[in-house]
């Protein structure tokens, strides 16, 4: 559990009601024992930021693979401490950790053992339980790796949803039947075509229509075709949300750095420019609720052997800062912390994503100065980043976790 501190901080506060970043007012925020105690007219503070900077609620990432579990067999590439350090460098103050571990949290005992490890993280961590046949606790979110299961019909999915009624279920949406058909194809992208994601999202939404007593969250949407399906489902009032990930917004199969071509595998794969644009538009519209990382660290040697996934936590803030403008302040705040704050409230009982008395005192300070992930000082243990050559229009100046300044540039 992160420590709790006392701190006063003055600067411009990014307000959801602002029309743009320019009309945000200055305030002094007083944090006592990790919780926001007061938001008052500006009167100085332990930290004072100029008018070019903006203070926002700390970012929340709904999708990270921190790699640490009771087996300890993957901590050569990441653990809760190093993933937490990467998060802090990226302005991320809380994250949800995925359950695809060698000893997956799929029983109460294993979940509790992983919880003890996660408590050592320097940011707040919620752990997903692995969705198998039925929930093993009723107070945690679940993750279903549809792509890893045997092919299943809409009716079978609806039956699974019945078992998970009342839960928050995040799904990796690639249809195993389509993946099986393409198993022999030449490239990673051809083996995991967009049709797999489109088919999976269609099936999941149909199953949700039949059995809507859970919250369905679609992870890492990558294909533009999914956007109208999600829009229609939301208009119908189905309990569904979705996230888009940094890498699917930044890169497409063509623009991925040529020097890193051998490292480009990720699931779902990088798609096209049109997909990137559709995802950004969906994020702007709110059809895609949240910006996530799918931080999935693997070492360079593992990447060369074909492992799928990119680290992304350390790049989150620099990339997100550039979304202020393309996204109105209210949408920006919702996509980077507000939507996820609902998730945090449900699983921790605490208020994240707000700069108001009573909310957790975890903040990020952004500045409009070009920045990027620096090769010399990777915070993730895996030792590389697809973003190392990228310059983003903004930077994370400071990250404050529960009243403790955890990062300063
Ligand atoms: O690229 C990916 N990597 N996609 C996943 O779904 C899993 C992740 C991982 O765990 O490395
Ligand atoms: Zn993932």
Cβ neighbours, 10 Å, residue 385: 25
User: Is 270 close to ligand 1, i.e. is its CB under 6 Å away?
Assistant: no
Name the residues around ion ligand 2, CB cutoff 5 A.
294
For residue 156, give every residue at least 6 positions away whose Cβ sits within 8 Å of its Cβ, in sequence order, or none.
none
In a mutational test of the pocket of ligand 1, which residue from 294, 299, 303, 313 has the highest number of ligand atoms less than 8 Å from its CB?
A: 294
pLDDT tens, residue by residue, 313-365: 999 999 999 999 999 999 999 999 999 999 999 999 999 999 999 999 999 99
At residue 375, the pLDDT reads: 83
CB-facing half-sphere around the CA of 93: CA atoms within 13 A = 35
Residue 177 bridge partners (DSSP) = none
Q: How many whole angstroms separate alpha carbon 234 and alpha carbon 56?
A: 28
- The answer to whether 294 is a known catalytic residue is yes
At residue 86, the pLDDT reads: 97
User: Is 381 close to ligand 1, i.e. is its CB under 6 Å away?
Assistant: no
Between the CA of 24 and the centroid of ligand 2 the distance, in Å, is: 35
In a mutational test of the pocket of ligand 1, which residue from 102, 307, 309 has the highest number of ligand atoms less than 8 Å from its CB?
A: 309
Between the CA of 11 and the centroid of ligand 2 the distance, in Å, is: 35
- Where do the domains of the chain lie? 58-350
Residues of the chain falling short of pLDDT 50: none
What length is written for the chain?
409
Q: Reduce the secondary structure of the chain to three states and give it as a string.
A: CCCCCCEEEEEEECCCCCCCHHHCCEEEEEEECCEEEEEECCCCCCEECCCCCEEEECEEEEEECCCCCCCCCCCCCCCHHHHHHHHHHCCEEEEEECCCCCCCCCCHHHHHHHHHHHCCCCCEEEECEECCCCCCCCCCCEEEEHHHCCCCCHHHHHHHHHHCCCCEEEEECCCHHHHHHCCCCCCHHHHCCHHHHHHHHHHHHHHHHHCCCCEEEECCCCCCCHHHHHHHHHHHCCCEEEEEEHHHHHCCCCCCCHHHHHHCCCCCCCCCHHHHHHHHHHHHHCCCCEEECCECCCCHHHHHCCCCCECCHHHHHHHHHCCECCECHHHHHHHHHHHHHHHHHHHHCCCCCCCCCCCECCEEEEECCCECCCHHHCCCCCCCCCCCCCCECCEEEEEEECCEEEEEC
Entry pTM: 0.98
Q: Which of 97, 252, 294, 314 is catalytic?
A: 294
User: Is 65 close to ligand 1, i.e. is its CB under 6 Å away?
Assistant: yes
User: Is 100 close to ligand 1, i.e. is its CB under 6 Å away?
Assistant: yes
Nearest CA to ligand 1 atom 6: 267
At residue 326, the pLDDT reads: 94
Task: Tell me the angle at which helices 273-285 and 226-236 cross, rounded to the nearest 10 degrees.
Answer: 20
Q: Determine whether domain 58-350 maps to CATH 3.20.20.140.
A: yes
């Amino acid at each position: 559990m992160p420590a709790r501190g006392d701190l006063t901080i003055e600067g411009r506060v990014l307000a959801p009601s602002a029309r743009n970043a320019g009309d945000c007012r200055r305030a002094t925020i007083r944090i006592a024992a990790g919780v926001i105690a007061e938001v008052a007219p500006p009167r100085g503070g332990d930290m004072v930021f100029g008018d070019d900077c903006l203070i926002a609620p700390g970012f929340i990432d709904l999708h990270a693979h921190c790699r640490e579990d009771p087996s300890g067999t993957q901590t050569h590439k990441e653990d809760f401490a190093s993933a937490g350090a990467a998060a802090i460098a990226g302005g991320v103050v809380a994250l949800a950790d995925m359950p695809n571990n060698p000893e997956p949290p799929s029983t109460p005992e294993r979940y509790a053992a992983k919880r003890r490890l996660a408590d050592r993280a320097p940011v707040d961590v919620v752990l997903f339980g692995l969705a198998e046949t039925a929930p093993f606790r009723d107070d945690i979110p679940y993750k279903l790796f549809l792509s890893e299961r045997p092919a299943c019909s809409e009716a079978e999915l609806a039956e699974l949803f019945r078992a998970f009624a009342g839960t928050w279920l995040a799904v990796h949406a690639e249809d195993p039947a389509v993946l099986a058909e393409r198993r022999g194809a030449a490239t990673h992208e051809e083996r995991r075509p967009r049709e797999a994601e489109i088919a999976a999202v269609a099936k999941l939404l149909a199953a949700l229509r039949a059995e809507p007593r859970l919250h369905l969250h679609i992870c890492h949407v990558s294909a533009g075709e999914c956007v109208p399906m999600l829009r229609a489902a939301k208009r119908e009032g189905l309990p569904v949300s979705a996230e888009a990930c940094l890498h699917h917004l930044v890169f497409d199969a063509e623009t991925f750095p040529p020097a890193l071509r051998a490292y480009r595998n990720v699931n779902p794969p990088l798609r096209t420019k049109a997909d990137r644009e559709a995802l950004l538009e969906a994020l702007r519209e709110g059809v895609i609720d949240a910006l996530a990382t799918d931080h999935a660290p693997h070492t360079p040697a593992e990447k060369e052997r074909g492992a799928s996934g990119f680290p992304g936590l350390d790049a989150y803030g620099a990339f997100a800062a550039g979304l202020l403008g393309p996204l109105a302040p209210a949408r920006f705040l919702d996509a980077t912390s507000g939507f996820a704050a609902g998730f945090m409230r449900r699983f921790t009982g605490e208020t994240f994503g707000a700069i108001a008395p009573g909310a957790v005192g975890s903040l990020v300070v952004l500045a409009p100065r070009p920045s990027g992930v620096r090769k010399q000082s990777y915070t993730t243990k895996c030792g590389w980043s697809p973003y190392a050559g990228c310059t983003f229009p903004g930077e994370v100046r400071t990250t404050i976790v529960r009243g403790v300044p955890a990062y300063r540039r």
